[in-house]
């Protein structure tokens, strides 16, 4: 691996930053201490700081030279509602919250890159360091966009990175096109007529109707989605009734859907609503259907993916960059930024073998070994893109 000597020297300090953030995890839109820390560091590097987008978001702006190109580099800052089971010294000090997805590491890698770029200024143009809150569950990226992120801080392209447990340190993975799915969430309330369980003919049973709706929804993937496409419809919760001899007045179902293609996403929502409302009405009941498009599909644009591949290849070699990684049905709210600007979302390996642990696990911890590599990727990408304008 080619890592700049200055970033190697910064490794121990970056590790200290990461452990500090890990000890004090904060969840969606409550990243007050984390955003204070990020803003203080950026200001100490001589970077212009703006705060307040999506409540706790931080944007740093670094300009150099006369180039008029601008790029955005994004890191997420929030933790999970999860009880940490690790016993090391930097474990979470907040009950029921932990950095179980590595956002502490993402934040620190971008801070390390910001420090180096502010010191060396080996680029021509503008870098926006975007520290985003609330990636988990509530799509803080969408809120930053609606708060005017790219109107206030224009960029030509935007880039994101996530750690990838289970893969050897010193490797990257990416692909052109969809790399992660949409994540939409639905709730359907079937309203019937309740009554005694011994006299079902005197009721309009929302339990039976709900069962029929669930079965019909499963046919969307098998009969409405092109077999060469991918989609998921999952009913994760069903609530109705309080005792065994009473048919309830209503039943509430909720869950999630996933797709890589926005057209498939549209079709799923429409078909779910049609089936739920139609089946309920056919049985003399009503259905209230709500659908929340919380995470768009994460779709990498071709030219920007080539730039990301080139940056990663320069650091770890062509053989260590998987350029056609299999997309996953997990979701990422960086997708909302990619809907507004071209860009690329890349995976950096977090380590494999004994001691490695997947994200969203109470035993997970970000691998400090990759902090300089991740920071160097951001530096390489920035200098590579913003040097082109000068040439």
Q: Using alpha carbons, select from 308, 307, 221, 284 the residue that is nearest to residue 256.
A: 221
Write out residues in the chain with pLDDT < 50, as ranges: 388-391
Q: What whole-number distance in Å separates Cα of residue 123 and Cα of residue 158?
A: 16
Q: CATH: 3.40.190.10, 3.40.1710.10, 3.40.630.30, 3.30.70.360. Which one for 183-295?
A: 3.30.70.360
Give the residue extent of every domain in the chain.
5-178+298-388, 183-295
pTM of the model: 0.94
- Per-residue pLDDT, 391: 41
DSSP class of residue 326 equals: P
Buried b (16+ CB within 10 A) or exposed e, 232-269: bbebeebebbeeeeebbbbbbbbbbbbbbbeebbebbb
Q: Are 81 and 138 in contact (CB under 8 A)?
A: no
Q: How many C-beta neighbours within 10 Å does residue 229 have?
A: 13
- Per-residue pLDDT, 85: 97
Give strand ranges (E) for 90-138: 125-132
Q: CATH: 3.40.50.460, 3.40.630.10, 3.20.80.10, 3.40.50.300. Which one for 5-178+298-388?
A: 3.40.630.10
- Per-residue pLDDT, 390: 39
The alpha carbon torsion through 373, 118, 103, 56 (nearest 10 deg) reads -170
* DSSP track, 217-284: HHHHHHHTS-TTS-EEEEEEEEE--SSTTEE-SEEEEEEEEEESSHHHHHHHHHHHHHHHHHHHHHTT
* DSSP track, 7-36: HHHTHHHHHHHHHHHHHS---TT--HHHHH
Angle between the N-to-C axes of helices 103-120 and 11-23, in degrees from 0 to 180, rounded to the nearest 10? 140
Q: Across the chain, how many H-helices and E-strands are there?
A: 11, 16
3-class secondary structure, 206 = helix
Q: Report pLDDT digits (tens) over 92-120.
A: 999 999 999 999 999 999 999 999 999 99
Q: What whole-number distance in Å separates Cα of residue 265 and Cα of residue 257?
A: 8
Q: Are 126 and 69 in contact (CB under 8 A)?
A: yes
Q: Using alpha carbons, select from 64, 75, 92, 73 the residue that is nearest to residue 364.
A: 92
- Per-residue pLDDT, 356: 79
List all residues 6 or more positions away from 201 whose beta carbon is below 8 Å from its beta carbon: none
Tell me the HSE value of 253 on the side-chain side, using a 13 A CA sphere. 24
């Amino acid at each position: 691996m080619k890592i700049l000597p200055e970033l190697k020297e910064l490794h121990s300090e970056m590790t200290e930053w990461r452990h500090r953030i890990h000890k004090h995890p904060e969840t969606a839109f409550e990243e007050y201490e984390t955003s204070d820390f990020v803003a203080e560091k950026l200001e100490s590097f001589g970077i212009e700081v703006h705060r307040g987008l999506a409540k706790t978001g931080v944007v740093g702006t670094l300009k150099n030279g006369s180039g008029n190109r601008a790029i955005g580099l994004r890191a997420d800052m929030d933790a999970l509602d999860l009880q940490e089971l690790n016993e090391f010294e930097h474990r979470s000090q907040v009950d029921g919250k932990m950095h179980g997805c590595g956002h502490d590491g993402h934040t620190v890698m971008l801070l390390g890159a910001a420090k180096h770029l502010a010191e060396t200024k080996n680029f021509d143009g503008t870098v926006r360091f975007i520290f985003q809150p609330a990636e988990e569950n509530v799509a803080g990226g969408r809120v930053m966009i609606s708060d005017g992120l790219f109107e206030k801080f224009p960029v030509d392209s935007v880039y994101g990175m996530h750690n990838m447990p289970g893969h050897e340190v010193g490797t990257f993975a990416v692909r052109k096109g969809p790399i992660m799915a949409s994540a939409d969430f639905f709730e359907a309330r079937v309203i019937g007529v309740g009554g005694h369980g011994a006299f079902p003919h005197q009721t309009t049973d929302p339990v039976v109707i709900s069962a029929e709706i669930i079965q019909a929804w499963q046919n969307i993937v098998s009969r409405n989605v092109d077999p060469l496409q991918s989609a998921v419809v999952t009913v994760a919760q069903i609530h109705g009734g309080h005792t065994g001899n009473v048919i309830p007045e209503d039943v509430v179902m909720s869950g999630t859907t996933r797709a890589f293609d926005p057209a498939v996403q549209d079709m799923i929502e429409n078909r779910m609503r049609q089936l739920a409302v139609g089946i309920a009405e056919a049985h003399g009941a009503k259905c209230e259907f709500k659908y929340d498009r919380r995470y768009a599909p994460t779709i990498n644009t071709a030219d920007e993916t080539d730039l990301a591949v080139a940056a990663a290849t320069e650091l770890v070699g062509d053989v260590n960059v998987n350029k056609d990684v299999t997309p996953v049905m997990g979701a990422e709210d960086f997708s909302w930024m990619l809907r507004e600007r071209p860009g690329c979302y890349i995976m950096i390996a977090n380590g494999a073998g004994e001691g490695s642990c997947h994200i969203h696990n109470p035993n997970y911890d970000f691998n400090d070994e990759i902090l300089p590599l991740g920071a160097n990727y951001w530096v390489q990408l920035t200098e590579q893109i913003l040097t082109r304008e000068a040439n």
